[in-house]
């Protein structure tokens, strides 16, 4: 016998010909020639239904005027969704979400797809059945997944989007372009004229904005940016080290490097050490994020402070507000970035100073 969700309050006898009786999922299933679970998937916006089948079920729903019973009450939980929890960066976000959850008396569910996103098919179905109060998603969901959440009345907020989003998708990010510009302007102000950047390997939205900010500052200062001064690498320490070695073994090596994140910047430290270069005497380095360890490396890293905890707090508060049915003044929010100057930057030495 097929099991069905009790919240649908099914009457298993089709009543399509009796207007005095409510139309049930079982009746719709019989009319469309499909199973009850298939109809339930269509009604609840779940995946796993062929387009032709979905259209046939939706036509039957419209024809016979099926109406869902009152939706189930959402659980008092906020779900935090990652592709992969990445070192200290991810922990800062978790701390921010937990801070708000404690203050507002809600629980936190942590979901991680893993590096291959192998669990995503199961995650979306599990989340729909759990019915959390709301979602904060660091993972970037596609249109179908967003529509599934909307169909079940589960509000969500995207954290630090990596792709362009439709205007109606709520998100919380940071002023990445302004941060990239501040990093480059700081180095230009110190007298550097050959400033390289280690960028992200793909056109990730936030990192592309950092690169554009760097280019804008150089352009404003009248400094051309030759293509060989921009090297793309993974946003990891290893990626930063490989990219920095490629830059620093040139005869016209840069006197300063701006890395797209702190992990890349730590890789620049590794490369400089292998080549016998001193930071900042021989090479200035600027990162982005201001992870807690940035103040503990030697020398302490000059970096762009991205308020990750505050961003997570804001995203969680916004998601919970949407879960309460409150209207928000705007869909997207960007928190300000600031330059944190430590000891990894200094004026270029006279012997190495170069102009572009």
Please state, in angstroms and rounded to a whole number, the distance separating the CA atoms of residues 164 and 181: 21
pTM of the predicted protein model: 0.76
Q: Tell me if 242 sits within 8 A of 267, measured CB to CB.
A: yes
Query: Tens of pLDDT along the chain (356 residues)?
Result: 333 333 333 333 344 455 545 567 777 888 888 887 787 777 766 667 888 888 888 888 877 766 655 445 667 899 999 887 767 888 999 999 999 999 999 999 998 876 555 445 556 777 877 889 999 999 888 888 888 888 888 999 999 998 889 988 999 999 999 999 999 999 999 999 999 999 999 878 999 999 999 999 999 999 999 999 999 999 999 999 999 999 999 999 999 999 999 999 999 999 999 999 999 999 999 999 999 999 999 999 999 999 999 999 999 999 999 998 888 777 789 999 999 999 999 999 864 444 43
Contact (CB, 8 A) for 335 and 307: yes
What CA–CA distance (Å, rounded) separates 184 from 213?
A: 8
Q: What pLDDT shows up at residue 354? A: 42
Q: Round to whole Å and give the CA distance between 217 and 300.
A: 24
Report the pLDDT value the prediction gives residue 24, as an integer from 0 to 100. Answer: 73
Going 228 to 301 to 237 to 201, the CA torsion angle's sign is negative
Strands 332-335 and 171-174: parallel
pLDDT given at position 343:
97
Q: Is the peptide bond before 299 cis (omega within 30 degrees of 0)?
A: yes
Contacts of 212 by beta carbon, 8 Å cutoff, 6+ apart: 177, 180
Domains of the chain, earliest start first: 6-64 (1.10.260.40), 75-175+309-335 (3.40.50.2300), 176-307 (3.40.50.2300)
Could you tell me if residue 65 is left (phi over 0), alpha (psi between -120 and 50 degrees) or otherwise beta?
left
| β-bridge partners, 83 | none
| Interatomic CA distance for residues 42 and 49, integer angstroms | 7
275, two tokens: 């080549």
pLDDT at 131: 87
pLDDT given at position 249: 96
Quick one: 53 exposed, middle or buried, by C-beta within 10 A (0-12, 13-18, 19+)?
middle
């Amino acid at each position: 016998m097929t099991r069905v969700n009790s919240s649908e309050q099914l009457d298993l006898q089709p009543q399509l010909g009796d207007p005095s009786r409510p139309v049930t999922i079982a009746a719709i299933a019989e009319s469309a020639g499909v199973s009850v679970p298939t109809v339930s998937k269509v009604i609840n916006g779940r995946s796993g239904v062929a387009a032709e089948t979905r259209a046939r079920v939706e036509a039957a729903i419209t024809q016979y005027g099926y109406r869902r019973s009152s939706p189930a009450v959402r659980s008092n939980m906020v779900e935090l969704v990652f592709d992969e929890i990445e070192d200290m960066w991810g922990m800062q976000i978790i701390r921010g979400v937990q801070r708000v959850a404690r203050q507002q008396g809600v629980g936190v569910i942590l979901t991680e797809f893993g590096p291959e996103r192998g669990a995503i098919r199961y995650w979306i179905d599990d989340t729909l059945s759990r019915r959390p109060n709301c979602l904060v998603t660091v993972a970037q969901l596609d249109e179908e997944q967003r529509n599934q959440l909307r169909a079940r009345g589960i509000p969500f907020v995207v954290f630090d989007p990596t792709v362009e989003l439709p205007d109606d998708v709520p998100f919380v990010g940071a002023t990445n372009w302004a941060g990239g510009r501040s990093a480059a302007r700081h180095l230009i102000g110190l007298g550097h004229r050959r400033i390289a950047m280690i960028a992200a390997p793909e056109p990730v939205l936030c990192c592309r904005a950092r690169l554009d900010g760097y280019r804008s500052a150089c352009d404003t200062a009248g400094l051309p940016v030759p293509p060989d001064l921009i090297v793309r690498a993974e946003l990891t320490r290893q990626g930063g080290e490989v990219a920095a070695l490629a830059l620093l073994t040139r005869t016209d090596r840069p006197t300063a490097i701006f890395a797209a994140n702190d992990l890349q910047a730590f890789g620049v430290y590794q490369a400089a050490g292998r080549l016998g270069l001193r930071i900042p005497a021989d090479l200035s380095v600027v990162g982005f994020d201001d992870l807690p360890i940035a103040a503990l490396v030697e020398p302490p890293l000059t970096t762009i402070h991205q308020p990750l905890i505050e961003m997570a707090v804001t995203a969680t508060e916004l998601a919970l507000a949407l879960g309460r049915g409150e209207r928000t003044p705007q869909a997207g929010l960007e928190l300000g970035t600031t330059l944190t100057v430590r000891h990894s930057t200094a004026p270029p030495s006279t012997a190495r100073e170069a102009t572009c």
